[in-house]
Amino acid sequence: MKALAGIFALVPIAAVAGVITAQWQLPNWAQPQWAALSKSQQLELSLRLNPFVWQGDFDGDKALDVAVLVKRSSDGKEGIAVLWRNEATPTVVGAGTSIGGGGDDFSWVEYWGVEESGSLHEGSYAETIRLDADALLVTKEGSATGLIYFVDRKPQWQQQSD
């Protein structure tokens, strides 16, 4: 064990960092899903925001799903792809597919994060909702905040006040 640790210690850190690509930061189960989606819809990972990947149970089936920030190769329009743990077909919002006040290009988003199942959310124009599953919040400071939640894995948009 000690000998093994010694070998690893000899590997320069820069060399290790160089081979860790962004895609490898996805969970193992999500990597083939992402590879297929990336190819079929011409999407790339967007590393503009940190983190570029969130885990959450976005369909409420008790299994963690993955949301990744993406951009469409053809025009650079950004969005979010949700890879479902127990469903083969991912859901894409933005990146050329419009959703509510979020539009079809999420390049305006400055922060994004996960809102937990059970939390209450007050909309600007709609009733307050209690989340049945985890959801995503996208924000531009002083400008716009939207909640993206999923019903039967279909994306819904709730505009929120700032």
Q: Is 61 in the site for Ca ion (CB under 5 A)?
A: yes
Quote the least distance from Cβ 48 to Ca ion, whole Å. Answer: 25
The residues, ordered by sequence, that sit 6+ positions from 31 with a Cβ below 8 Å of its Cβ are: 23, 24
Q: For residue 16, what are the CA distances in angstroms to 1, 2, 22, 27, 121? A: 20, 20, 13, 19, 43
Q: For residues 30 and 144, which CB has a smaller minimum distance to Ca ion in the complex?
A: 30
Q: Which is nearer to Ca ion, 9 or 88 (CB)?
A: 88
Using CB under 5 A as the binding criterion, the count of chain residues that bind Ca ion stands at 5
Q: What is the DSSP string of 106-152?
A: GGG--EEEEE-TT-EE-BSSS--EE-SS-EEEEEETTTEEEEEEEET
> Per rule CB under 5 A, is residue 78 in the interface with Ca ion?
no
Binder to Ca ion among 34, 38, 59, 90 (CB under 5 A)? 59
Shortest distance in whole angstroms from residue 25 CB to Ca ion: 19
Q: Does residue 28 sit in helix, strand or coil?
A: coil
Q: Residues 10-49: x/- map of binding to Ca ion (CB under 5 A)?
A: ----------------------------------------
Residue of 59, 112, 118 lying closest to 84 (CA atoms): 59
CB of 110 to Ca ion, least distance (A): 27
Contact between 93 and 104 (Cβ < 8 Å): no
Q: How large is the C-alpha radius of gyration of the chain?
A: 18
**Phi then psi dihedrals of residue 91, to 5 deg:** -115, 130
Q: Which is nearer to Ca ion, 42 or 156 (CB)?
A: 156
For Ca ion, which residue of 16, 22, 35, 63 counts as binding (CB under 5 A)?
63
Asked whether position 65 contacts Ca ion by CB under 5 A, the answer is: yes
Q: Residues in the site for Ca ion, rule: CB under 5 A?
A: 57, 59, 61, 63, 65
